[in-house]
Structure 1
Amino acid sequence: MGFDLKKEAKFLSTRMDDKTAASVGLANMMVLGATLAHDGDHFYQAFRWKYKIPLQLLAINLAVYVMPAISTFLTKNKRASATWLVMAEGIITSAAFLKVHLWKPTTDVWGAWNYNYFKLNKGVMHEGQWLQGINWIDWALLFILPVMSTPAFILANKNRKELEAQAAEEE
């Protein structure tokens, strides 16, 4: 039983019924909501630190919303491909956020968040400004993403498997 590209391409354009689309939409909103909560916390951190978030950082940060936007579009159009994208967005976004905040970002474009949460908790001098303090809310809103992405992944994957089974029955 190998990978059949034609079969997969056909599956990806399969239309979901209303119930499945609602379920995939819920999974997408779980990831998107957790992402928004985490990013909102960065505004809270910046407020506490009296740090002005540079506009270019805000623009770069919008990239994290590309997959949820596409997932929303695909879900609204009831495309089965939304299941794969919702599964991917939760994993990729969670992994990226955890890497940046627990270790170190790959690039130095994240302003005050070029430092991990452990260093920020101790305090760092960033561009002549002292930044210090990571509280329990910051930690909770970092880990809310993988906590919400896991059931979202499971839900999207369940829907994907059901759609694939339906497609196989129709053949």
Structure 2
Amino acid sequence: MLRFSLHAGFSLAVAIVVCLPALADIATPGFRPVFPSHRITTHGPWPEYAFLVLRSETVFNNEKTSREGSRLVSTAELVELAPDRPVVIASVGYDKMNFASFIIVPRSAVGAYPTALSLAEAVVEKKVKGAVVFPLEGREEVPEWHSPELTIDYQLQRKTNRGDAPIELVRTT
């Protein structure tokens, strides 16, 4: 009997660990997932930096939308950020393989790459010194009564304590 209890306890522990990734997709009772847009604002100019938005999405090659035969397609664009001109990044939709990132690079690095996408790829490969990547969440949980529209606000600001990067993106909502 003791042997059965240990085996059953071990099986339960293994089942819980194996199922945890699947449980991450289940909303908390009384809440539901929404796919937010992101708005980035600033109080001052940033003449020493350029800003990119990198989007990646899974493109499926068959009608069943299975992971088999899918590929990741990325696009990037240089964007302007100023006190009177926030950057708004539309929802990336539901899929752990769809995501967006806000990238900050030294303005001097922009001319070394022919396209925004090649610059973003160099940043991801850590080839651009001084670049900072801020991944943006693609899914949020809200109360069931909440609107399906959600915009998360961020403020770009200088760090008070100098760490890896002299700037930070602070979530304000």
Q: TM-score range by the shorter chain?
A: under 0.3
Structure with the higher helix share, 1 or 2: 1
Structure with the higher strand share, 1 or 2: 2
TM-score normalised according to structure 2 size: 0.22
